[in-house]
């Protein structure tokens, strides 16, 4: 069974003449071990799809299932727990807590409840090592380079070992070499640990490294191309 299933999902903003249809009856499955790149022009609905899968938004209609659970029925607390435990977000521009060190940014999730702190500390050190960040683990986030920040963001998203990664423009502020390293780190984690990932990107070179390329225009899925 696909880890993420979207069935006839629509999302609109505003009302009356100002109503905007961001997504229109989108149906999409994402399997474990699969990286799906979402590409499309600005305003096509990519970020809305990501936000819906991450329970940051609720759809106007349709059904979103993660591991069989319909997350559109979740209340506020359940959505918070879902984001904390089952989804890993990597935002554009990394979005670190600026006054924390790289390691503290990872350990932040331990403060959000239900945490085995010693295990999370071990996990943080392990991820920092895997992503080549051990040397900068005690540096304040604002003093890290763009690539380091983005890798810390990936590490943070993986802290609770979520099955689903939602990644928004991970290479937007990076040069090609750094961008490739960041995306490769992400792909490695998904393939090795049997996770699933949806990655929004404008960069065709990065999109081509994914397992599938889904093209969105005007809120509709127009193309769905396997790349592997």
Partner 1 sequence: MLALTEIRRRKLQFGFVTGVVALIAYLIIMVTGLGLGLYDAAGTALLNLNGDHLAYAANSNLSVIRSRLTEADVAEVRALPAADRATPIGYVAAVVEYAPGETDTAAIIGVVPGAFSEPAVVEGGPLGGPADILIDRTWARLGDTRVGDTLALPIGFQTRDFTVAGIVDQGYFFFQPAMYVDIAAWRELNFPGDPAQRPAASLVLLQGRDLDGLRGEGWRIVTKEDGFNNIEGVQAQQSTVDALRYMGLLIGAMVIGVFFYVITLQKVSLLGILKAIGAPGLYLVVQGLLQVLIVCVIGAALAVGLALLTKATVLSSGAIPITFTNGAMTVSSISVVIAGVVGSLLSARQVASVDPIIAMQQQ
Rounded alpha-carbon distances, angstroms, from residue 224 to 32, 68, 209 = 17, 22, 15
- Residue with smaller CB distance to partner 1, 88 or 215: 88
Residue 188: CB atoms within 10 A of its CB come to 12
Minimum CB distance to partner 1, residue 85 (Å): 7
Does residue 168 bind partner 1 (CB under 8 A)? yes
* Cβ nearer to partner 1, comparing 44 with 211: 44
Range 9-68, binding partner 1 (CB under 8 A): 47, 50-51, 54, 56-57
Gap between the terminal Cα atoms of the chain: 19
Strand-pair partners of 212: 36, 226
Least distance from C-beta 82 to partner 1, angstroms? 8
Is 165 an interacting residue with respect to partner 1 (CB under 8 A)? no
Residue 140 CA to residue 144 CA, distance in Å, equals 7
8 A C-beta contact, residue 185 and residue 196: no
- Interface positions with partner 1 (CB under 8 A): 47, 50-51, 54, 56-57, 77, 80-81, 83-85, 89, 91-93, 95, 97-100, 104, 108-109, 111-113, 140, 156-157, 168-169, 172
């Amino acid at each position: 069974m696909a880890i993420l299933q979207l069935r006839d999902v629509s999302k609109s903003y505003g009302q009356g003449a100002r109503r905007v249809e961001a997504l229109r009856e989108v149906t999409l499955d994402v399997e474990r071990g699969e990286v799906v790149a979402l590409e499309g022009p600005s305003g096509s609905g990519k970020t809305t799809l990501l936000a819906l899968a991450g329970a940051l938004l609720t759809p106007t209609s349709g059904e979103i299932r993660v591991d069989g659970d319909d997350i559109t029925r979740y209340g506020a607390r359940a959505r918070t727990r879902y984001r904390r435990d089952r989804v890993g977000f990597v935002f554009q521009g990394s979005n670190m807590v600026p006054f924390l060190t790289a390691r503290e940014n990872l350990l932040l999730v331990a403060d959000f409840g239900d945490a085995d702190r010693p295990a999370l500390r071990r996990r943080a050190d392990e991820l920092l090592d895997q992503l080549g960040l051990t040397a900068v683990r005690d540096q304040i986030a604002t003093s890290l380079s763009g690539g380091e920040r983005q890798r810390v963001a990936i590490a943070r998203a993986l802290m609770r070992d979520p099955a689903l990664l939602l990644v928004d423009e991970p290479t937007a502020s990076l040069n090609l070499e750094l961008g490739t390293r960041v995306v490769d780190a992400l792909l490695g984690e998904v393939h090795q640990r049997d996770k699933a990932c949806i990655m929004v990107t404008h960069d065709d070179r990065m999109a081509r490294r994914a397992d599938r390329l889904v093209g969105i225009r005007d809120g509709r899925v127009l193309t769905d191309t396997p790349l592997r």
